[in-house]
């Protein structure tokens, strides 16, 4: 009941917003638009989402294919998608198990045929009403349209702060500049989607980072993310930390250089302590500082193990890459 009420009210809002964008929906061409929708345990909201997406895309003068990717859902999402697949424009990919949101988006891109590919989630937080404006930017010559979240109604204060700090940190250590609050709601051209299909096949994936690192003409649009129609976020704090680590490893080698910087600093400290000890020996005084020595040794060991941990993270990701296991496996 909650999901139905949410989308009914939200639908009225979307229709109101759509009237303001009516000029954008009159784009006339025969290009194919592929819409990739990742699905994981969304039975309570899936039909309402499809009704909203279908109503919005009917206004577009594009040929259309909608690719639902079922990321190993354990609820009735699979059965609902089988019904939706009877529609001629709908294609459904079922994973053999849960491979993760990033793998689901990549699978959708792999199986898309469109001149433009739009990725969004089925949880209601990526409004389909933005699609006409995204296509307008594509018609203006942009190969990539990043959707940047202005605000979000869900998520704890801690998650929002961590997300902000993460992007600031990543932009400082990476040669690539990322848009803060960029989301997994984006549009790419067939040129960019072909690059993702052929080259960006890492097991440690950060697709919103991939599309910002390939170059080409790109632009951003903003949107407000509302509450989920039903259910709860599938990204726990732990999964967000793992995703962040993958992004850092994928786009920066600076953490590996920390050993050199810290080693140089501690080398200077060791030389200073050595000179101090020699001077004390010459003037025939026993150098004091037992506590200082213990603290120095303890800090040194802590930093050594910290750096070993960083190296271990990189080696772990390298190990995953060398195994070359499939990013996802399709059931049907």
Write the pLDDT tens digit of every residue in 257-300.
777 777 777 777 777 777 777 777 677 665 566 666 777 777 77
Q: Out of 108-117, 144-153, 224-233, give the one with best mean pLDDT.
A: 108-117
Distance CA 146, CA 162 (A): 21
Q: Is 111 helix (H, G, I), strand (E, B) or coil?
A: coil
Q: What is the mean pLDDT of the chain?
A: 76
| Choices 3.90.550.10, 3.30.540.10, 3.90.70.10, 3.30.70.360: CATH for 2-235 | 3.90.550.10
Q: What is the pLDDT of residue 1?
A: 34
**More confidently predicted of 146 and 282:** 146
Q: Out of 108-112, 161-165, 268-272, give the one with best mean pLDDT.
A: 108-112
List b or e across 31-53, with b for residues whose CB sees 16 or more CB atoms inside 10 angstroms. Answer: ebbbbbbbbbbbbbbbbbbbebb
Q: What is the pLDDT of residue 94?
A: 93
Burial of 318 from C-beta contacts in 10 A (0-12 / 13-18 / 19+) = exposed
Q: Please list the alpha-helical segments (H only) found in the chain.
A: 2-20, 46-57, 77-84, 101-110, 131-139, 157-173, 190-198, 207-213, 237-251, 254-282, 290-323
Is 60 exceeded by the pLDDT of residue 36? yes
Segments making up each domain of the chain, as ranges? 2-235, 254-323
Q: Is 31 helix (H, G, I), strand (E, B) or coil?
A: strand
Residue 92: pLDDT band (50, 70, 90) is very high
Q: DSSP letters of 151-176?
A: EESSS-HHHHHHHHHHHHHHHHH-SS
Distance CA 11, CA 27 (A): 22
pTM: predicted TM-score of the whole model, two decimal places? 0.69
Distance CA 172, CA 256 (A): 15
Is 50 exceeded by the pLDDT of residue 28? no
């Amino acid at each position: 009941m909650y999901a139905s009420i949410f989308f009914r009210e939200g639908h009225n809002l979307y229709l109101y917003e759509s009237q303001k964008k009516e000029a954008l929906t009159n784009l006339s061409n025969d290009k194919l638009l592929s819409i990739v929708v990742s699905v994981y345990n969304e039975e309570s909201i899936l039909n309402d989402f499809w009704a909203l997406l279908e109503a919005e895309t009917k206004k577009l003068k594009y040929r259309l294919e909608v690719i639902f990717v079922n990321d190993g859902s354990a609820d009735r999402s699979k059965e609902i998608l089988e019904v939706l697949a009877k529609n001629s424009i709908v294609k459904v990919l079922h994973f053999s198990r849960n491979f993760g949101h990033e793998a689901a988006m990549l699978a959708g891109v792999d199986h898309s045929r469109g001149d433009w590919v739009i990725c969004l989630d089925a949880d209601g937080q990526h409004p389909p009403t933005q699609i006409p404006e995204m296509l307008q930017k594509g018609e203006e010559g942009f190969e990539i349209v990043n959707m940047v979240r202005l605000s979000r109604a869900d998520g704890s204060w801690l998650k929002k702060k961590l997300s902000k700090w993460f992007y600031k940190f990543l932009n400082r250590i990476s040669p690539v500049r990322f848009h803060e609050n960029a989301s997994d709601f984006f549009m790419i051209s067939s040129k960019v989607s072909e690059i993702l299909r052929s080259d960006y096949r890492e097991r440690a994936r950060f697709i919103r980072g991939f599309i910002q690192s390939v170059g080409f003409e790109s632009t951003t649009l903003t949107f407000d993310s509302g509450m989920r129609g039903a259910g709860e976020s599938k990204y726990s704090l732990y999964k967000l930390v793992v995703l962040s680590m993958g992004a850092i490893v994928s786009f920066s080698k600076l953490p590996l250089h920390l050993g050199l910087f810290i080693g140089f600093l501690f080398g200077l400290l060791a030389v200073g302590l050595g000179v101090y000890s020699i001077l004390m020996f010459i003037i025939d005084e026993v150098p004091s500082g037992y506590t200082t020595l213990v603290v120095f040794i303890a800090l040194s060991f802590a930093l050594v193990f910290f750096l070993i941990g960083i190296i271990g993270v990189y080696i772990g990701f390298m190990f995953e890459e060398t195994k070359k296991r499939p990013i996802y496996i399709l059931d049907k």
